[in-house]
Amino acid sequence: MAGPTFLDGERVTLRVPEESDVAFLLENENDPAVRATRSASAPTGPDDVRRRLGGTLGQNDDTLALVIWADGERVGHVYLVREKPNDQTYRRAELAYWITPDAQGNGYATDAGRTILDHGFDSLGLHKVVAKTFASNPASARVLEKLGFTQEGVLRDEALVGGEFEDLLRFGLLVEEWREGEE
């Protein structure tokens, strides 16, 4: 049973996670192909996933954490994270997402990102959204570029992934850039 619809995109529906999503989230977040693209270095456990039930990260109600559905199936997870000090004051958030290996390459991440960014800028009044991706993940960088993000910098050897240090690319998108892209 799918959780309640939070937002509808062109190709995806973003739903609030519920107990029936726990196994899906655990399986995929711990899949080596998905974990290699995420900044979470430790395996995800049931308690980590259950904190997201209801659509937040369990730390405050300002973060959105939603399951991505396409064609009646769960295909990923998208976040609009607002957990850092001053995120509310500065009206900023961080976009993050992952797509199951079998569903990658279908435009789901781009549509989920566009859908949640619309909500963030239009309904939450965000001024800026940032995003990060490993340099070894050009597909994720392409998603961000399609959404209008600009690469703002490189954090050299920022993360240890699979025993190797990885550069982390930082991207940013301002509300006025988002609005220009909508025209």
- Check whether 51 has a pLDDT greater than 80: no
Query: What confidence category does residue 41 fall into, taking pLDDT thresholds of 50, 70 and 90?
Result: low
pLDDT one-digit tens code per residue, 71-119: 999 999 999 998 888 988 999 999 999 999 999 999 999 999 999 999 9
> Beta strands 92-99 and 128-134: pairing type?
parallel
How big, in percent rounded to 5, are the helix, strand and coil portions of the chain?
30, 35, 35
Q: How many Å apart are CA 169 and CA 182, to the nearest integer? A: 25
Residues 24 and 74: beta-carbon distance below 8 Å? yes
- Domain range for 131 is 5-182
Q: What pLDDT was estimated at residue 59?
A: 60
Q: Tens digits of per-residue pLDDT, 139-158?
A: 999 999 999 999 999 999 99
Angle between helices 175-182 and 108-122 (to 10 degrees): 120
- Tell me, what CATH number does 131's domain have? 3.40.630.30
What per-residue confidence (pLDDT) applies to 96?
93
Pseudo-torsion of CA 179, 125, 17, 27, nearest 10°? 60
Q: How many domains does the chain have?
A: 1
The reported pTM is 0.90
SS3 126: coil
Residue 1: the pLDDT is: 45
How many CB atoms lie under 10 A from the CB of residue 150? Answer: 12
Split at pLDDT 50, 70, 90, the class of 62 is confident
